């Protein structure tokens, strides 16, 4: 089961790159940089401070043009950017070796997004970082994938106490934000607890 950490959405803090490097050293699988208010220069500075060996595991939500300069091969499309793009662009990026992801809030859209390697779907539980975003899943929800080839990643309100439910709901992984960043100075401890609680896929 995949565990994806999403960055703080606000402007970069001085210690952020150090935290990110430490998370990778502790076994972080993938890191999504989502900073809608940051410009290209700010994101460039952050990427310069992240160890090059981890760039392959980073996905950019904004400023996709920075990817090639850092050897980043993962691009995330917000719903807005996806709706203002097209399948020809996505296919061209996949042909160039990029791994693509996107986000949806409507499960009916999943079959139309087969060019994306994985898809964030939620909010599954009540959001930690956005208190007004309520979870939409019942306790007995089970994701029916049908012929869906993309991985479906649960998003919203995920923490140590409900991580096992994500696996039971048939998601391929979980993306976390508030569970890591909402308590400053505890980011490393928060990640260690989550990583230890991560359900293991059967062999």
Domain harbouring 192, CATH code = 3.20.20.70
pLDDT band at 107; cut points 50, 70, 90: confident
Domain that holds residue 87: 2-197
Cβ atoms of 180 and 191 within 8 Å: the answer is: yes
> In the prediction, which pLDDT does 69 show?
97
> In the prediction, which pLDDT does 145 show?
79
What DSSP element (H or E) covers 82?
helix 79-83
Mean pLDDT throughout 84-99? 97
pLDDT band at 202; cut points 50, 70, 90: very low
- 202 assigned to some structural domain: no
- 203 assigned to some structural domain: no
The total number of structural domains that make up the chain: 1
Could you give the percent of the chain with pLDDT greater than 70?
Answer: 96
* Higher pLDDT pick, 202 / 149: 149
- 166 assigned to some structural domain: yes
Question: Strand runs (DSSP E) across the chain, as ranges?
Answer: 2-6, 30-33, 58-60, 74-77, 99-104, 118-121, 151-155, 173-176
- 146 assigned to some structural domain: yes
Tens digit of each residue's pLDDT (9 = 90 or more) over 6-24: 999 987 667 899 999 999 9
> In the prediction, which pLDDT does 49 show?
96
């Amino acid at each position: 089961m995949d565990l994806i950490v999403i960055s703080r959405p606000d402007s970069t803090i001085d210690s952020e790159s150090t935290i990110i490097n430490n998370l990778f050293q502790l076994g972080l699988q993938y890191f999504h940089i989502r900073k809608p208010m940051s410009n290209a220069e700010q994101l460039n500075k952050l990427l310069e401070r992240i160890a090059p060996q981890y760039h392959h595991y980073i996905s950019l939500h904004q400023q996709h043009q920075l990817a090639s300069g850092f050897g980043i091969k993962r691009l995330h499309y917000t719903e807005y950017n996806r709706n203002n793009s097209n399948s020809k662009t996505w296919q061209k990026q996949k042909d160039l070796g990029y791994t693509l992801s996107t986000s949806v809030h409507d499960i009916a859209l999943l079959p139309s997004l087969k060019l994306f390697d994985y898809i964030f779907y939620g909010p599954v539980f009540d959001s930690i970082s956005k208190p007004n975003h309520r979870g939409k899943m019942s306790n007995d929800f089970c994701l029916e994938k049908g012929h869906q080839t993309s991985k479906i990643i649960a998003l919203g309100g995920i923490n140590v106490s409900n991580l096992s439910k994500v696996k039971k709901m048939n998601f391929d992984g979980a993306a976390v934000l508030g569970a890591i960043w909402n308590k400053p100075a505890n980011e490393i401890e928060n990640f260690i607890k989550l990583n230890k609680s991560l359900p293991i896929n059967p062999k």
